[in-house]
Amino acid sequence: MTSSNYLQSLEKDERARLEKRLHDRQSGKCFICDRPIDLVLHKGDLDVDHIDPLAEQGLDDENNFAITHASCNRSKGASDLRLARRMAEFETLQVEARDKGERGANLGHLLAKHGGGKAKLKLQRQDGKVKYSLSAAGDTRIHEIPLYRDKLSGVEYFFSVLPIAYLHHDDRINPRSIGSNIRGLIEEFMKKRPQLHVSLAWWAPDAESAGEVKVFDGQHKAAAQILLGVDELPVRVFLDPDTNVLLQANTNAGGKLRQVAFDPAVMRHLGSTIYVERVQQYQEIKRLSKDDYSFSESDLVKFFKGEHREMLRYIVDSARDSITRHKDNKLMDFVEWAGKAADQPLAYSGVERTFFSEFLYKSALSSRLDEGMERGDNPRHLERDQLVRLMSLFAEIFFVGKWDPDFGGRRLENRLQKGETINEEHLRAWRVAREEILGNIVEWIRLVIENYFAYTGEMMDKERILHGKLPEALWDRVRAFLVNLSKLPCWVDRQLSSTVFGAKQNLDFWKQIFKTGKSPSGVQVLAQSLDLNSMIREPNAREGASR
């Protein structure tokens, strides 16, 4: 809390009366989180702080004070109460969205909370202008503004400032959730520094010449302004465009052009969307019915030969996206979609470089898209279902009921070195999720699979290892391997915190540990090297048993 001469001058009873007045003024709610404050139950756990910080010429006066839960106020760091209040609202929306199985809050969630996304805009085009009224927002005037045509794309558009009641979020073209970097934008707007980029939207009419204005770009800036109470936003609106072109442009902006900082998971989802549309386009051009999938991924690559490389990426993106967004994939509950934050043990990029790198087939298949659908052995579906099963199995053994998101992983090894008590299961989850460790684990899982086929004398395609149904006896071996791996003492050995786990290592570092039991510098990490035959035995049968 900022030092206040005013507050320091108050006697104990004067301070109590001030808290009561602020409590009444705020309707009994914390200024930051907007949850109830009980002056009796929360006594001793309340803060009074400046709304406008003293460092920014805020007054040291009762009119500039607010009462908060002490935990809310102290978690805001150096930011002022106004920013903390906005971020608390945003975090609440994030939690609500994730509780519904969504990646996080997006512009649509903010619009819904603040009265946006309710109305359609009715337009008239005439003589190079557009006319409209904003009656749903209480503005019955007829607005008339210039209509422009983009010289390169030929798309018509106009600029306007529209009430948020008329703005909708397009989660097809822009499926991104809003990241924590919105804090910086809120601060910029609070300091009266305008952002130079307006939001982009599109509009298409229905039979009554009305349509939703769907925002597909600039959602972070829009969301920051809405959180600060703005009820209308400047937008550039494309009229009746080919939305597939907008989708492709937005995908390229976040992909090969690197104009937008899309996280990898968003790029995969956009690629998957384009793949579906290429399939539909192929069916239309070839005059096939919508349920006719008698062509292959290779046929699509050859047909769209002008974008050969992109088409291959769309195919693989679709496979990735079907796995990460599968309702039964338990691992994704422990993945940070953008980067690696301390709340989750895994980053999405780590999933790509481990599970997907090892097991996902990244070339086009020559078999029909509907090959084996009736028999239940379609290669892409088998790949999806078995990767979901493998990832979920890993999550069940290492993360489910073991990882505590409230405790998190921020500076975990440093906290351990300082003597802080950390639950062993939580520590194990954090350590095995390190990409250099997980990468070696999935290589060993592949070894378990190949060993089984060598043991049974069955043939397997090493490039397409999950395109055939794995037998249950093999799944038992994989589970046994992961369970036995989880019991290794190194994952909970506090003495290794400053050596083996103290800094980020590479794949070869842990490859040597698994192979020899020692680190490259000679630190004894495992009692002995990993032995495959021992690791695939059921845990209660490891001693004195042979397979």
- pLDDT on residue 272: 80
* Best CA proximity match to 254, nearest among 184, 173, 138, 356: 173
The size of the chain, in residues, is 547
Q: Where are the alpha helices (DSSP H) in 100-210?
A: 107-113, 182-190
Establish whether domains 5-78 and 107-243 are of one fold.
no
Higher pLDDT, 250 or 522: 522
Reported confidence tier of residue 408, pLDDT bands at 50, 70, 90 = confident
Here the contacts of 25-32 (C-beta below 8 Å, separation 24 or greater) are 26/66, 26/67, 30/67, 30/68, 30/69, 30/72, 31/66, 31/67, 31/68, 31/81, 31/85, 32/68, 32/69, 32/72, 32/73, 32/76, 32/81, 32/84, 32/85, 32/88
Encoded amino acid at 353, one letter: R
Specify whether domain 5-78 bears CATH 3.40.1800: yes
Rounded to 10 deg, the angle between the 308-324 and 379-398 helix axes is: 50
168 dihedral zone (left: phi>0; alpha: psi -120 to 50; beta) = beta
8 A C-beta contact, residue 307 and residue 371: no
- pLDDT on residue 181: 72
* Best CA proximity match to 312, nearest among 323, 347, 320: 320
8 A C-beta contact, residue 200 and residue 174: no
Count of beta carbons in the 10 Å neighbourhood of residue 466 = 22
Encoded amino acid at 325, one letter: R
pTM of the full predicted structure? 0.62
The rounded distance, in Å, linking the Cα atoms of 227 and 219 is 12
The rounded distance, in Å, linking the Cα atoms of 386 and 384 is 6
In sequence order, which residues have a C-beta less than 8 Å from that of residue 266 and are 6 or more positions away? Answer: 175, 176, 254, 337
* Best CA proximity match to 186, nearest among 227, 235, 229: 227
pLDDT at 7 over 60: yes
The rounded distance, in Å, linking the Cα atoms of 2 and 453 is 67
- 3-state helix, strand, coil split of the chain in percent (to 5) is 45, 15, 40
Reported confidence tier of residue 544, pLDDT bands at 50, 70, 90 = very low
Encode pLDDT of 91-135 as tens digits: 889 888 888 877 789 999 999 999 999 999 999 998 899 999 999
Q: How far is CA 86 from CA 22, 56, 75, 103, 246, in A?
A: 19, 18, 13, 20, 31
Class of domain 107-243: alpha beta
Q: How far is CA 436 from CA 169, 350, 494, in A?
A: 38, 9, 19
Parse the chain into domains and list their residue ranges: 5-78, 107-243, 378-541
Reported confidence tier of residue 253, pLDDT bands at 50, 70, 90 = low
Kindly state the tokens that stand for 186.
């809120």
8 A C-beta contact, residue 492 and residue 463: no
In degrees, to the nearest 5, what angle opens at C-alpha 170 toward C-alphas 326 and 384? 15
